[in-house]
Amino acid sequence: MGGLIVVAVVAVAGAGALWLYLTGARPGAAPAAPVASAEPDERADVAEATAIVLLEGNVWSACAFDGHEEDWARFTAAPVRGFAGVPSGRHRVTTTCPSGRGNARLDFVLYPGDVFARRLDVEAARWDYCEDDDDAKAPAPAAAESLIVHRTVLGIARAMRGDAVVVPETAVRRTCAALADVLARSAAAGDAEADTQADEDRLAEAAALGEALVGVPLTRGQLGALTDRVLAAADVQEAARAWGRARRVARLGLAVLPGDPRLAGLIARLNGAVRNTPPRNI
């Protein structure tokens, strides 16, 4: 009986250690506070916690993560629920739904230490929030056996495919410069090109910039370098009470980093500002 208790204690301790390894968390450490940065973080020695991605109800046999398809079930001891050890940055999940509705695509941005959870509605080919699933919000350490170790599995897969190596610092620097140019052209156009083809072309240009970042591991500082530019451009328009132009700035930013919480917060604030602005006297 005593031997069984020892084995159980060792098993629990081992699961806890694996959990800490997968998430990059440190026992008793306080969550890191967001840090805004005007320039990409080039410090190679900066170690940040990775994230967890839970995809409840997913059809794993028909799923691609950051463009990579795999027999995901062979990488876990229990039925697959998601990924651990996912680097911060922009990511994409695409699942072909058997309902015949086509692909359910999910674009999102992760920050260090995030637990990102969504549930697939197969019939609607849509990803929904896991609002009522407490385990999805804060999965227990025991869930580690159902999570794919992202940095190991996808790292090996990319090496075997011979994928070109993307240097995050270079990618962010180029994206920052190109995004600044798009934002400047949008500001120069003012309201004259609102909801026109030129406006849509700039949005498509921003979306193309974001495509180049899918699957590229980025630090909090590098993400901040991108969002700071968008927030600064929106501040200029907000100061002029040009809410429509500020919203277009936010849309450009979200085209690059879909779902980024800082940019989503900007959109929410701008929508509130519009509702609370009294009509002008004519």
Listing DSSP states for the chain in one string gives -HHHHHHHHHHHHHHHHHHHHHHT--TTPPPPPP---SS----TT-----EEEEEET--GGGEEETTEE--GGGG-SS---EEEEEPSEEEEEEEEETTTTEEEEEEEEE-TT-EEEEEEETTTTEEEE-TT-HHHHS--GGGGGGEEEHHHHHHHHHHHHTPPPP-HHHHHHHHHHHHHHHHHHHHHHTTTTTTSHHHHHHHHHHHHHHHTTBT----HHHHHHHHHHHHHHHHHHHHTT-HHHHHHHHHHHHHHSTT-HHHHHHHHHHHHHHHTPPPPP-
The per-residue pLDDT for 35 is 38
Residue 115, pLDDT score: 92
Mean predicted confidence (pLDDT) in 124-130: 93
The 10 Å Cβ neighbour count of residue 166 is 13
What pLDDT shows up at residue 130?
Answer: 85
pTM: 0.77
Question: Looking at the predicted structure, is the pLDDT value of residue 187 above 60?
Answer: yes
Per-residue pLDDT tens for 257-267? 999 999 999 99
pLDDT digits (tens, 9 = 90+) for 33-63: 333 444 444 444 356 899 999 999 999 999 9
More confident residue, 35 or 130: 130
HSE, CB side, 13 Å, CA atoms: give it for residue 261: 8
**Residue 99 reports pLDDT greater than 50:** yes
Tokens for 143, please give them: 């869930």
Q: Is pLDDT of 243 > 70? A: yes
The full set of domain ranges for the chain reads: 14-26+45-161, 168-275
What are the pLDDT digits (tens) for 160-180? Answer: 766 766 899 999 999 999 999
Assign residue 85 a region: left if phi > 0, alpha if psi is -120 to 50, beta otherwise?
left
45/141: higher pLDDT: 141
For 81-101, what is the mean pLDDT?
A: 93
What pLDDT sits at residue 274? 52
Task: Please give the pLDDT value at position 277.
Answer: 52
- Range with lowest mean pLDDT among 72-76, 155-159, 173-177, 180-184: 155-159
